[in-house]
Amino acid sequence: MAPIDPSKTPIVWILGGPGSGKGTQCEKIIAKYGFTHLSTGDLLRAEVKSGSERAKCLSAIMERGELVPNDLVLDLLKEAMLAKTDEAKGFLIDGYPREKSQGIAFEKTIAPVTVIIYFEASSETLTKRLLGRAASSGRADDNEETIKLRLKTFLDNNDQVLAQYPEKLKRINAEDSVDAIFSQVVQILDPLVK
Ligand code: AP5
């Protein structure tokens, strides 16, 4: 497996609170740019489904709205990225890093990030969206109590994560409509693929 060269294959971190629209925007980015999407939440849910001993412990952590251990997330992510290195036009890393140390470990062991897109929305908006999604998502963490805990975990860590990357960070107002947000995303990503 070849190492990842970010000058040929951009690496984009997609950040934002729970329910900020990371997954929604990633779908649109994939459709337009064909980037490879890796959501740490999805990778962890797949691991939980495997039913291993480790999966039981992961599931409990996620239902408490806490962060799972860094080493485990980074291992899953690294493995998934390396498996796609040859075919990827770009990597969309959705929901990582969630702690300052995660960002540092990623750049040290995988590659430097190219750009960071941060979807910014109020806690009220995030809560409303997640409660709206709860009826159909089937996610064990989409309930009022866990949503509160997920928000707290996010608020406790987010400023420190963002502060690490003043030059690479692009903030987008995520209170807007899905299409209005995407038009701003396009302005950030178009220069990377030309
Ligand atoms: P994860 O799966 O990443 O969940 P999350 O960050 O809480 O985010 P969501 O997937 O719930 O929301 P989203 O931002 O993708 O919004 P979406 O597009 O779905 O993580 C789950 C758990 O895994 C964590 O709590 C943690 O335990 C663990 N974990 C994950 N990563 C980790 C890491 N790096 N380290 C350690 N632990 C980790 O949209 C939400 C809703 O809003 C939808 O209904 C959508 O239709 C709607 N919507 C979207 N955009 C708009 C808009 N502009 N206007 C109106 N509605 C909108």
- Beta carbons within 8 Å of 15's beta carbon, 6+ residues apart: 22, 95, 97, 116, 117, 118, 119, 158, 161, 162
β-sheet with 11-16: strand ranges across: 36-39, 91-94, 11-16, 115-120, 169-173
* CA separation for the pair 92, 78 (Å, rounded): 13
State which ligand 1 atom lies nearest to the alpha carbon of 16.
Answer: 14
Q: In the predicted model, what is the mean pLDDT of residues 17-30?
A: 98
Name the percent of the chain lying above pLDDT 70: 99
Name the percent of the chain lying above pLDDT 90: 90
Please write the tens of the pLDDT for every residue from 48-76. 998 888 788 899 999 999 999 999 999 99
pLDDT of the residue at 6 = 87
pLDDT band at 1 (very low <50, low <70, confident <90, very high): low
Protein residues whose CB sits closer than 6 Å to any atom of ligand 1: 16, 18-24, 39-41, 44, 61-62, 65-68, 73, 95-96, 98, 102, 129, 132-133, 141, 150, 177-178, 181
pLDDT higher than threshold 70 for residue 2? no
